[in-house]
Structures are given as C-alpha cells and as structure tokens.
Amino acid sequence: MSKQGTVRDNKKVSGELFTLTYGALVSQLLKDYESDDEVNKQLEKMGYNIGVRLIEDFLARSNVGRCHDLKETADVIAKNGFKMFLGITPQVTSWNAMGDEFSLIFDSNPLAEFVELPDGHSNLWYSSILAGVIKGALEMVQMEVEAAFVQDVLRGDSITEMRVKFLKKLEDAVPVGED
C-alpha cells in the first residue's frame, strides 16, 4: 500500500473511532439520565467545557485575528473552526433581520455518521455537544451566545441545522487579585 493510502486509511479509521466513541458517550448518558432533556444538557455542558479550552488552541493554530462583526465571526466558526477540528465547513445561512442570529447547516456531521437514534428518544439532540463547544469558545472571546440544534436529519428532518444567537458582549474578566 502506498504511504498516501496509509495516511488516508488512518484518517478514516480515526474518524470512525471518533464517531463510535461519541456514540458510546451518548449511549452511556442515556443510561445514566432519566430524560432526553437532561442528556442534551449534559452534552451541552461537556461541549462548553471543551469549547473554553479549544479556543486557545484554535487561536494559536489559525491566523485569525479579532472579528469586526458577527458575520465575520460566523464565517470564522464555519470555515476555520469546524474545518480545523472536524474537517467540515457548515454553511452559514438564514440571518435574521437584526443580524444577530444565524444558522449553521451541516451537510455532513462526523459525530452522526451511520448513527440511528434509539427508539423512544425523540427529544434527544444527538450532536448537542457542538452547540456547547460554540458557546464555550465564544465566551472566551467575550461573546455570550445561545446555540442549539433546531433540526437534525437523525430525527427525520431534511437538514441538520444549528441556530446561533448573539446575546451580549461580555466584559473582560478581571484576574483575581487585580480588581
């Protein structure tokens, strides 16, 4: 096998392993918590904790500077953030009139490949962890947002869509002992 083939195969295997690992995490949460709502919350919380850490890595590895408006931020999230960590580029679309809310449409979702939702879990938002990642990462650049999936092909919707709403600009935190 060529070296290039091996690299591609390894990437595919680690992608599959990633999908399976995430599936195992969701399955475990479904056992541990009584309601889908609670599982959604847990996934979001985990994502938030990942996001607050991942942003540092993102800013260090990308050449992205400060964004001037939410449109720029949305593009950076889709074209740089998702590309860097998941190898996908969701479409940025459906801006509201105020320009403070947009959608990310996922044509592919590495977390959910070959996944079927188990019966009886119609309130589960399988990929909620990603909404949490966005919230956590943006909070670290002083932006409070709401983020949630509003459509998911796993639930029978025609597309997978995350809605992101800018809430407010956060003040820079004052380091402990310096206020």
- Residues in contact with ligand MYR by the rule CB under 6 A: 58, 64, 66-67, 73, 76-77, 81-82, 85-86, 130, 133-134, 137, 141
Count of Cβ atoms closer than 10 Å to residue 73 Cβ: 22
Write the single-letter amino acid at 162: M
Smallest distance, Å, CB 166 to ligand MYR? 12
In the complex, the smallest distance separating the C-beta of residue 113 from ligand MYR, rounded to whole angstroms, is 15
As a whole number of angstroms, the distance between CA 107 and CA 173 comes to 37
Q: How far is CA 100 from the centre of its chain?
A: 18
Query: With respect to ligand MYR, which residue has the nearer C-beta, 64 or 105?
Result: 64
3-state helix, strand, coil split of the chain in percent (to 5) is 50, 15, 35
Q: Minimum CB separation from ligand MYR for residue 133, in Å?
A: 5
Q: How far apart are the first and last CA of the chain?
A: 61
Other CB atoms within 10 Å distance of the CB of residue 72: 13
Cβ-based nearer residue to ligand MYR, 17 or 35: 17
Cβ proximity to ligand MYR, 39 vs 77, nearer residue: 77
Smallest separation, CB 60 to ligand MYR (Å): 12
Judged by phi (left if over 0) then psi (alpha if -120 to 50, else beta), residue 87 lies in: left
Nearer to ligand MYR, 29 or 77 (CB): 77
- Nearest residue by C-beta to ligand MYR? 81
